[in-house]
Amino acid sequence: MSTQPTATQYRQGLAIRSSYVENVLTHLLVGELAGELWRRDPTTPLNIFNSEVDDSGFDLVLNCHQSLRYLQIKQVHLDGRAAKFSVRHDFSLMTGSCVVVIVHAADDLSIDHFLFYGGSVKDAMPSVDDNKASRSPIRRGVDGKRKVREHYRDIRRSKFKKLMNVSELIDALFS
């Protein structure tokens, strides 16, 4: 008989398999968006494009109602304490750019709610110029300090709008 993993084991799994977790959550997000649009109007198309190379700052491009949204996907579990999220500066200048944080349960990866940082679909996200430059989570200089990532800015979590469900996210993305 197998035992249920502990909270610590789930957190370790999230850290070790972060790319896997983000990929699963991105698929869940797309499924929820498509399902909500279907419920609203089954004739509404949602075109979904994946970024093959993550050098432009976005993970997904969504097209709905003749509007393009460039999404950078971030994830954090319900007990996660991430106080900021790193955003590529050039990406922040793109029309339709936004960041969607998927807040999920650690034990089953179910989506609890979303955090959203962006403007209208016709504008770039609010300026990130006044935010601190991000520091690399891995790379360190010869002095042992984390290297500054000049082309990235840290956006405080408090600046994100909390959206409780996928319906509110659809409205934020395409209204």
The fraction of the chain above a pLDDT of 70, given in percent, is: 98
pLDDT at residue 1 greater than cutoff 70: no
User: pLDDT class for 148, splitting at 50, 70, 90?
Assistant: confident
* 111-144 pLDDT, tens digit each: 999 999 999 999 999 999 898 988 877 777 777 7
The whole-angstrom separation of Cα 29 and Cα 23 is 10
Residue 30 included in any domain: yes
Domain interval for residue 111:
7-174
Residue 165 included in any domain: yes
pLDDT at residue 41 greater than cutoff 90: yes
Residue 161 included in any domain: yes
Please give the biggest Cα pair distance in the chain. 58
Residue 75 included in any domain: yes
Token pair recorded at residue 34: 């498509």
The pLDDT of residue 175: 86
Sequence-ordered strand ranges (E) for the chain: 47-50, 60-64, 67-77, 84-88, 97-104, 111-118, 133-140, 146-156, 161-163
Residue 1 included in any domain: no
Residue 41 included in any domain: yes
Q: What is the CATH classification number for the domain harbouring 129?
A: 3.40.1350
Residue 26 included in any domain: yes
Count of the separate structural domains present in the chain = 1
Residue 102 included in any domain: yes
pLDDT at residue 60 greater than cutoff 90: yes
The fraction of the chain above a pLDDT of 90, given in percent, is: 67
